[in-house]
Structure 1
Amino acid sequence: MTSTPADAPLHPDRQQEASALSAQGRYAEAFDVLAALVGTHARADDADLAETLHLAALCALGAGKTDAAHALWQRCIDAKPAFVDAWHGLAAMLTALGQWPAAETLWRRLLAVAPAHADAHSNLGIVLHRLGRAQEAELAYRMALAQQPGHVDAHYNLGIVLQEAGRGDEAEAAYRAALAANPHHARAHNNLGTLLRARGRLDEAEEAWRQALLAEPQYPEALNNYGALLKSLGRLMEAELACRLAIKIRPDYVEALNNLGCVLTELKRQPEAELLYRQALALRPGHVEAHYNLGVALQQLERYPEAETAWRTALRLAPAHAQTLNNLGGMLGMLGRLPEARAMLEQALECDAHIAQTHFNLGGVLKELGALDEAEAAYRRAIALAPDYGDALFRLATLLITMGRYEEGWRLYERRYENAGFVHFASREMLGCAQWQGEPLAGKSLLLWQEDGLGDMLQFARYARLLKDLGAAHVAFGCVDALHRVLAGVEGIDAVLSHAEAAARTTQLNSQLNSQFNSPVDPRFDYWASPLSLPLHLATTVDTTPPPIRIDPDPALVHKWAARLETLGAGPRIGLVWKGNPKHHNDPHRSIPSLAALAPLWSVPGLKFVSLQKGAGEDEANAAQHAGAGARQPILHLGAEIADFVDTAAIVAQLDLLICVDTSTAHLAASLGTPCWVMLPGRDVDWRWLHAREDSPWYPQTVRLFRQSADETWSAPIERVRQACVERFSR
């Protein structure tokens, strides 16, 4: 009888050839060989062919022929239900293809055939985890470990489930068990690193990622995670390298692109960071963190509309992303869009009330809106969440001083010395003698040390005479050169020194030199203090504010400048300063944009204007001075000729009035006894001027304040100044 193809005998040599091809990874060729042996349909002898069918299925899978592999394994199972390898192969393929329900069914059928099959329990756990059934997955992994205690994958995958459940101790134990069984399991090292970092054990986390990369140097996830850790440790150059290596291995690795952008943002390389964020978003437009980080970089580049767009895109994707709401609210506040900022920050707090920075930002917005009590409460909540929040402590201190609540305000203001971001922090390290905290001063030598601006020093130099009244034998003032001549001779100040000279006299070395070698070097100071700390130590209140220093101008300089001022002719002499130091943090608000804005003052009859403007604004003053006889308002520009404060003092002493913005010249004028009208901005008014007052306890006889409301342009306070000029000089 002629045999049919279904009955054809096997050819061991052909099967051996297929096995060899398969071992070489030549799966398609191996499958062609085996397909000719087993055919494409079920055969009566499939039970005998089970091993060959299984090998053919494996080769089909290797060749990408999943349907053929499925059919071949199904033939195995149908013909030989107890053939575990067929169940395992088909279940593993469906698992790899993400066909989770079908895979679950097959793993469970395999376990019905072989209940002690540890791999089947472990793989069933993977499927159950993907199906969102974490508790069942945990049980499956534990069943695998009951059958095989050293099952590496079961330990590893159990660790993942436990880590996601927040069971950190158990997850760590599971990862370490996997590593005990296989010390080179890179993914277990990687996940352990993530767990340890989240638990604050950064040194151990770093070691875990080092081990992951030793085991698998081309492991992009470990490189990216290690880079993120290095960034958090401030090791930015190493972090950049790690992230770049991850991207080199996987150019479309969105998380690494985003992380590298964060590193470059921290390195102040925002344009490069922007490109990386945009590259990440081109690959994954819905990546919330990349939109958020792009906004951060754009804000730092002062491209505020683009930053707002980036953050609003992030919020469309994740409306409850509290950090985005916080940053956008903070930027809107900075841009003066206060009602929008308030609403945004309050929304952020609804999403997460535990972000100290959001309370801080809200406090700033509320202060600018005039809601001082609410601002105070917001700052206090920020500090309750972050007790060492230096900026919040400083803002609360200045707010309380603004409100006239000096006792607590000055006490909190002293904590500026704890803020590493402030210049004051360095003073304690630099100066070698004790910082004065109110100890008895009888017979002691004390250094007043300038840390703050020129105006601050003129304002608070008044405390020198109070220190002398307390018995201080010697009070010196260490300050910048610009203050030396104007402070020399001020009551209570025995000597004016450069910072270098003053610092040298605080060191123990100077004292030793003086005693051992009978050196002429002046003796060491007993104490040092910032002039701005003295209201605290001397218990100043609004009602007990000491009178200002009295500066006497140099007679020779008065005579010199008198000749220049005489060229104005008869009439009240009005000094003008409309811009401050452009480096001041609030200069965009406190400075008037141009001299032209003061034009309404020109309409007051008889006034003679003198420009004391130096630096910014001088070009306008020069142009006005040389505009010719037909100019609407001639102005005498002296700013370019002024050498220092002593020159300014000699001029201001001969003026009838100084009209200025909030600059050091206001303090100089008030200390000379010259009337001074200060125009204050509607935003971020300095604490020294208190809240809503038109006068100043610091200069009760000389200073008058003209405040810009939050909704006003400069034209409004300038008009009020014009009206005041009419009232004063048109009588």
Structure 2
Amino acid sequence: MATLPTGEPRRPEQHPASSAGSSPSDAKYADALAKVKPLTDANAPLSLADRVQALHIAAISSLGLSKPDDAQSYWRRLIDIQPDFFDAYNGLGILFKGLNRLQDAEAIYRQFLSVSPEHPDALNNLGTVLFDLKRFAEAESAYRDALVWRPHFAEAYHNLGKALHETGQLTEADAVYRTALELLPDSIEVHIHLANTLQQLGRLAEAEEIYQRALAIRFNVPEVHHNRAIVLKALGRLPEAEASWRRALAFRPDAHLSQFSLATLLLSLGRYEEGWPLYESRYQQEGRIHHHSAATLRCPRWRGEPLAGKTLLVWQEDGLGDMIQFGRYLPVLKAQGVTRITFACAKPLRRLFASLDCVDEVVTHGEGLQRSSTYDTWTSLISVPVYLRTTLATIPPALRLTPDGGLMRQWAERLAALPPGRKIGLVWRGNPKHHNDAFRSVPSLAALAPLWSVPGCRFVSLQKGQGEDEANAPPENQPLLHLGSDVTDFADSAAIVEQLDLLICVDTSSAHLAASLGKRCWMMLPGHDVDWRWMHERTDSPWYPQTLRLFRQAQDESRDAVIERVRGALSSIEW
């Protein structure tokens, strides 16, 4: 879950002339420029100091009048006559950064440093440019050089902490942030970044304490309440987390990330009536795929209006497993009288969903976008529950999937290579791009070794992506039929899972597939940041009440202990 603010470094102070919200009137800038412009003439009888001052005022006034080219010209003329005048270089650097001309900003700071290599402000500002260019190691070096020449440079310590954080040097970032905090004890921003670092280090109680200290300085900062809520949730203090997100929203009602975060908490508590509407806030978050969908699809988004006689474009925005889980709403939508349902989705889903009676057509995202203006309305499957007012008691049955008979026979030939016994599917790793993958995935196939001790079980790997190499060459004491590398899509996966007795997996799309097929599925959940749909403490799921069993990792429990509990359950299962 995202914290606020992001890890961008502190910027060098903008010149007032470049900050629209606090600029003096245009008349003031025009008057200043009119007075000094004659003095900028090279033939004007002025001292060097006065000409430098005139050129600097002319540059600032030009920037205030939204004439960046003129400002740049004045500052460059100034540099020509006084090459060590830092404010001119800094003005150009800020100007270039504002125009996203980062290479030019880097060049101008380096030009100044060639004249004055020991200038701490120039080194710090160069570091911020390098940070924006994602050259974090170079940014770190620039900040450290600044601190050589100004050992108590609080802003450089703060920025150094961010560079260290970005390169994964979290322990070092912790120490540097604490030094910055000694120099800037009232800085809310330093408190936030220190607490974020402690959170990533797993030192949640310390992070929460730092957020408390920040709130003691200034209570009305929504970012602090938002970030503290994340920590409180991770600590299992759910009522306090809810209260903290509500305080963030009290101070900033349009904080869409806080709305979304509160939504996931409420949904995890089964409080669907309030949770679903807040979950729609994902469409207001710029940068999210949902915001992009709403901006680019050329038909109205469905908001619960009657669907009888209308055509509907169903648009996949979320994960593959999400589509299988919420695919249960497709027959519900069809039953409302939709004349045509077209599902635009990723390739791994197409064959599986094309076999459904409730879907008239399956297309690519490109085709769906191109034809979107021809539909009456569009929706995401995960938006349907809000308009149908789904509660825990009214969750529709899982999507009824029927594997293809030809594919069943094809995979049966491969499965026939197994010795007699119960066929157990395995998926131990998820998508490495998932924000919580480090906690939800089992780090290696070897960690599942206890399962091999259960008599009469034959194991089948459906692993794709990370983990495939292990599956292709398992240890001798871990016999495994690996099929995942040859699986092309979910139609293949469904044909395999249908012929298994049980699937054991982590939180991945395979669980949704198996449970929707009516197969027993045992899912190992992490102790950290469990997805909202699996709720809290339960060993079952209202989304798959007859098929899914959850094995939760307790806060003080190792992953090996969870695997041992799975082994014990496998040893005692009644088939």
Shared fold per TM-score greater than 0.5: yes
Q: Name the CA shift for 1:205/1:352 in 2 (closer, same or farther; >3 Å).
A: farther
Q: Which amino acid aligns with 1:714?
A: R
Q: Which amino acid aligns with 1:220?
A: F
Aligned residue in 2 for 1:216? 78
Q: Secondary structure at the match of 2:524?
A: strand
1:464/1:492 contact within 8 Å kept: yes
1:192/1:205 contact within 8 Å kept: no
TM-superposed deviation, 1:230: 4.5
Note if 1:536 corresponds to 2:383.
no
Note if 1:480 corresponds to 2:325.
no
Q: Which amino acid aligns with 1:312?
A: R
Aligned residue in 1 for 2:542? 697
TM-superposed deviation, 1:251: 2.6
Aligned residue in 2 for 1:276? 142
Cα displacement string for residues 134-184 of structure 1 (whole angstroms, at most 9, x for unaligned residues): xxxxxxxxxxxxxxxxxxxxxxxxxxxxxxxxxx99999999987776555
5+ long unaligned stretches in structure 1: 1-167, 508-523
Equivalent-residue separation in structure 2 for 1:227 and 1:383 (angstroms): 36
Q: Which amino acid aligns with 1:409?
A: G
User: RMSD value over aligned CA atoms?
Assistant: 3.0
Equivalent-residue separation in structure 2 for 1:682 and 1:691 (angstroms): 11
Q: Name the CA shift for 1:193/1:360 in 2 (closer, same or farther; >3 Å).
A: farther
TM-superposed deviation, 1:641: 2.3
Q: Where in structure 2 are the equivalents of 1:260-339 lying within 5 Å?
A: 260-339=126-205
Equivalent-residue separation in structure 1 for 2:58 and 2:551 (angstroms): 62
TM-superposed deviation, 1:574: 1.2
Given candidates 541, 550, 565, the residue that maps to 2:400 is: 550
TM-superposed deviation, 1:291: 1.1
Equivalent-residue separation in structure 1 for 2:252 and 2:295 (angstroms): 25
Aligned residue in 1 for 2:47? none
Aligned residue in 2 for 1:566? 416
Equivalent-residue separation in structure 2 for 1:460 and 1:247 (angstroms): 58
Cα displacement string for residues 314-336 of structure 1 (whole angstroms, at most 9, x for unaligned residues): 22333333222211211221232
Equivalent-residue separation in structure 1 for 2:362 and 2:434 (angstroms): 25
Note if 1:614 corresponds to 2:464.
yes
Cα displacement string for residues 406-455 of structure 1 (whole angstroms, at most 9, x for unaligned residues): 22222121121121110111112321111111111111000100111110
Q: Where in structure 2 are the equivalents of 1:145-544 lying within 5 Å?
A: 182=36, 213=75, 216-217=78-79, 218=82, 219-228=85-94, 230-232=96-98, 234-507=100-373, 524-544=374-394
Equivalent-residue separation in structure 2 for 1:359 and 1:526 (angstroms): 41
TM-superposed deviation, 1:223: 2.7
Aligned positions, number: 540
Equivalent-residue separation in structure 2 for 1:366 and 1:675 (angstroms): 34
TM-superposed deviation, 1:604: 2.3
TM-superposed deviation, 1:606: 1.9
Q: Which amino acid aligns with 1:720?
A: R
Q: Secondary structure at the match of 1:492?
A: coil
1:401/1:410 contact within 8 Å kept: yes
Aligned residue in 1 for 2:555? 710
TM-superposed deviation, 1:580: 0.5
What's the % identity of the aligned pairs? 51
Equivalent-residue separation in structure 1 for 2:509 and 2:154 (angstroms): 46
Equivalent-residue separation in structure 2 for 1:169 and 1:237 (angstroms): 27
Q: Which amino acid aligns with 1:562?
A: A
Q: Name the CA shift for 1:574/1:209 in 2 (closer, same or farther; >3 Å).
A: same
TM-score (norm 1): 0.69
From the CA coordinates, give the structure whose radius of gyration is larger: 1
Q: Which amino acid aligns with 1:558?
A: M
More helix by share: 1
Aligned residue in 2 for 1:87? none
Equivalent-residue separation in structure 1 for 2:24 and 2:311 (angstroms): 63
1:490/1:549 contact within 8 Å kept: no
Aligned residue in 1 for 2:521? 676
Equivalent-residue separation in structure 2 for 1:264 and 1:233 (angstroms): 15
5+ long unaligned stretches in structure 2: 1-21, 40-49
Cα displacement string for residues 9-34 of structure 1 (whole angstroms, at most 9, x for unaligned residues): xxxxxxxxxxxxxxxxxxxxxxxxxx
Note if 1:686 corresponds to 2:536.
no
2:32/2:58 contact within 8 Å kept: no
Q: Which amino acid aligns with 2:543?
A: W
Cα displacement string for residues 445-468 of structure 1 (whole angstroms, at most 9, x for unaligned residues): 001001111101111111111111
Cα displacement string for residues 52-93 of structure 1 (whole angstroms, at most 9, x for unaligned residues): xxxxxxxxxxxxxxxxxxxxxxxxxxxxxxxxxxxxxxxxxx
1:577/1:613 contact within 8 Å kept: yes
Q: Name the CA shift for 1:317/1:404 in 2 (closer, same or farther; >3 Å).
A: same
Aligned residue in 2 for 1:33? none
Q: Which amino acid aligns with 2:389?
A: A
Q: Which amino acid aligns with 2:444?
A: S
2:400/2:517 contact within 8 Å kept: yes
Equivalent-residue separation in structure 1 for 2:553 and 2:334 (angstroms): 39
Equivalent-residue separation in structure 1 for 2:252 and 2:141 (angstroms): 34
Q: Which amino acid aligns with 1:505?
A: R
Equivalent-residue separation in structure 1 for 2:229 and 2:438 (angstroms): 21
TM-superposed deviation, 1:582: 1.1
Aligned residue in 2 for 1:647? 492
TM-superposed deviation, 1:705: 1.0
TM-superposed deviation, 1:664: 0.4
Equivalent-residue separation in structure 2 for 1:682 and 1:357 (angstroms): 25
Q: Which amino acid aligns with 1:549?
A: L
TM-superposed deviation, 1:492: 1.7
Equivalent-residue separation in structure 2 for 1:182 and 1:193 (angstroms): 10
Cα displacement string for residues 384-414 of structure 1 (whole angstroms, at most 9, x for unaligned residues): 3444433322212211211212222221211
Q: Name the CA shift for 1:693/1:365 in 2 (closer, same or farther; >3 Å).
A: same
Equivalent-residue separation in structure 1 for 2:57 and 2:525 (angstroms): 57
Equivalent-residue separation in structure 2 for 1:354 and 1:232 (angstroms): 29
Given candidates 507, 512, 526, the residue that maps to 1:667 is: 512
1:179/1:188 contact within 8 Å kept: no
1:708/1:714 contact within 8 Å kept: yes
1:581/1:587 contact within 8 Å kept: yes
Q: Name the CA shift for 1:187/1:592 in 2 (closer, same or farther; >3 Å).
A: farther
TM-superposed deviation, 1:214: 6.7
Given candidates 574, 577, 580, the residue that maps to 2:427 is: 577
Equivalent-residue separation in structure 1 for 2:103 and 2:278 (angstroms): 37
Q: Secondary structure at the match of 2:442?
A: coil
Cα displacement string for residues 175-222 of structure 1 (whole angstroms, at most 9, x for unaligned residues): 99877765556658868999x99xxx9766969965862773343114
Aligned residue in 2 for 1:51? none
Q: Secondary structure at the match of 2:396?
A: coil
Q: Which amino acid aligns with 1:216?
A: L
TM-score (norm 2): 0.86
1:261/1:273 contact within 8 Å kept: yes
Aligned residue in 1 for 2:11? none
Equivalent-residue separation in structure 1 for 2:560 and 2:144 (angstroms): 43
Given candidates 566, 581, 589, the residue that maps to 2:439 is: 589
Aligned residue in 1 for 2:483? 638
Q: Name the CA shift for 1:687/1:575 in 2 (closer, same or farther; >3 Å).
A: same
Equivalent-residue separation in structure 2 for 1:202 and 1:457 (angstroms): 51
Aligned residue in 1 for 2:7? none
2:191/2:211 contact within 8 Å kept: yes
TM-superposed deviation, 1:234: 4.1
Equivalent-residue separation in structure 2 for 1:338 and 1:594 (angstroms): 27
TM-superposed deviation, 1:534: 0.7
Q: Secondary structure at the match of 2:473?
A: helix
